[in-house]
Amino acid sequence: MKTTIKHPFLSSIYVLIGLFLMSAGCDKSNLNIDAPNCVQNEIKKIKIEEVRNPPAQVWKWEVAGQTYYYITSDCCDQYNLLYSNNCDVICAPDGGITGLGDGNCPDFTEPIKKTLLWKDNRQ
C-alpha cells in the first residue's frame, strides 16, 4: 500500500519543527563548565543581554585551597565581582571609578591560579 501526503505544506512544517527541536537539544549554549549553579545562571543571564564591551568573561581562581569565581562587568567604572564557591559575593578585586575594586578582598599571599571558564564569543 502506497502512502501519499495529502498536505505537503503541513509535512514541511512538521519537518521544520522537528529540526528545530533537535537543534535546540544540541545548542552550543549549554554550559559544560565546572562551576556552581549561581555562576552558570549568571552566564545564562549574560547570554540573554546585549553583547558587553568588552565581552564578558568568567574565571576560576584557585588560591590557598579555596575556589573563587571572577565575573567581569559590562562596562567601564563598574566592579568586577569575585564569588565564593558557595555563591556569596566576596569582593570586587578591580573595576569601579578608580579601577582598584572595592578594597574588601582578602589578602591573597599565595599565587592565584586563574583559569578561563567561559568567554562570550558573540559578535
- The cell for 7 is 498536505
Weakly modelled stretches of the chain, pLDDT under 70: 1-31
CB-neighbour burial class of residue 38 (10 A; exposed 0-12, middle 13-18, buried 19+): middle
Amino acid, res. 28: K
pTM of the model: 0.72
Ordered by start, the domain boundaries in the chain are 30-119
pLDDT tens digits for 26-48?
A: 333 356 788 999 899 999 999 99
Distance (Å, rounded) from C-alpha 89 to C-alpha 37? 14
Chain-centroid distance of CA 33 in Å reads 9
For the chain, what percent of residues have pLDDT higher than 70? 75
CA-to-CA distance for 33 and 28, rounded, in angstroms?
12
User: Can you give the pLDDT at residue 34?
Assistant: 85
